Structure formats: structure tokens, C-alpha cells
Amino acid sequence: MSEIKEERYKNQEWLEDQYIRLDKSALEISKDLKCTDCTIRNWLKRFNIEKKRDYICKECGKEYTPHEKSKTYQKYCSKQCNRKAFASTKHGNRSLKNVKLKARYNITLLKYEELLKEQNHKCKICGKELKLFVDHNHDSGKIRGLLCNNCNAGIGWFNEDVNILKLAVIYLEDNHEGNV
């Protein structure tokens, strides 16, 4: 029984039916028959069955059926793969960064880059040249500057409370060598 199933591709009528009428790809037919898609393509060629364009996602490598309206230019199997591929490009990465900055802090990527330049690519508190994050007042939303992760997190841990930060400075100054 399995021999008959495996060799169905040698029947021109059956193969045309699968490939044309049922619109299966060579890969789908090969999986059904447990053979290689190359074998199916060879038999399609042997029977002079007109080759359909194979649609393989450029991001994940999956075979897909394109939307009828976008057959000529669709390169990805899904919106997720399209976004992922776009985000991995230089333009896409900048565009994505711009969208995130606009949504979170209401600034553009150009404004962020201006701030970077003004601060010489250094944290506004510690002066270290690390990856910098937008620091903003959580009540007003106004941007104070760019900080490294440690300084930004430190302000957050003190709930942006200047009085508590002053007390922390006094504590550190009084106990810089330790008491114990």
C-alpha cells in the first residue's frame, strides 16, 4: 500500500490534479508522499506541467500562498516576518527606534541624537560612555536628559524623590568608610 502511495507522482493526471486543481506546492505534495520536493519537481517537468512560482518566505523559509492582490511583490509569509525583516535593516531599525521614542517620550530619533551629541554620548550623571536611555519626569513627561542604565535605575529606585536622594548623599558622605 505504501509503495502505491509513494509512486503516485508518476501518474500525470494525479500529479496535475494535486498541483494545479488543488493548488498544492511541490513541497506539500512531497510531504504527503514522503519523498523529496526535487522528485516532484522532476516529474512535473517530465510531464510538462507548467511550473507555478514557489513562494518561500525570505525571513523564516516557510512556503506560503500569497494574497491574491500582492502576488507580484509579497516576500514574506506573514506580517510578523515582514516586520522582523524590516526591523533588521538599517532603515527599519532607525524607523522602529523612531516610533518607540515618539510613543514613549514624544521625541523623534533626531531629537534623541541631538541630546546624545549635546552630552558627548555620555551619561548626564556619571559621565560614562555607555548605552544611554531617555530619562524623563514621570509626572510631567518632560525629558531631563540621557542616562546610563545604572543612573536611570537609581533615580527610579529612589522614586525620583529629591529629598530621599539628598538623604542618601548625606548617608554616603557620613559613612563613606563604613562604621562597622
Read off the pTM.
Answer: 0.51
d(CA 117, CA 110): 11
d(CA 124, CA 119): 7
Per-residue model confidence (pLDDT) at position 1: 42
DSSP 56: B
Whole domain around residue 163: which residue ranges?
107-174
Q: Does 90 map to a domain?
A: no
Q: Does 80 map to a domain?
A: no
| Average pLDDT, 10 consecutive residues per value, the chain (180 residues) | 66 88 82 86 87 75 71 76 82 83 92 95 95 91 94 93 93 81
Say which CATH number the domain at 164 has.
3.40.1800.10
The beta strands (E) that lie in the chain are given as: 133-136, 143-147
Q: Does 98 map to a domain?
A: no
- Nine-digit cell string for 115: 541630546
Q: Is the dihedral of CA 64, 65, 68, 72 positive or negative?
A: positive
- Whether the CB-CB separation of 7 and 34 falls below 8 Å is answered with no
Q: Does 102 map to a domain?
A: no
Per-residue model confidence (pLDDT) at position 180: 63
Give helix 79-87 / helix 90-105 axis angle, nearest 10°. Answer: 100
d(CA 169, CA 149): 19
Q: Does 145 map to a domain?
A: yes
Would you report the helix, strand and coil content of the chain in percent, each value rounded to 5?
Answer: 55, 5, 40
Per-residue model confidence (pLDDT) at position 68: 65
Domain count, the chain: 2
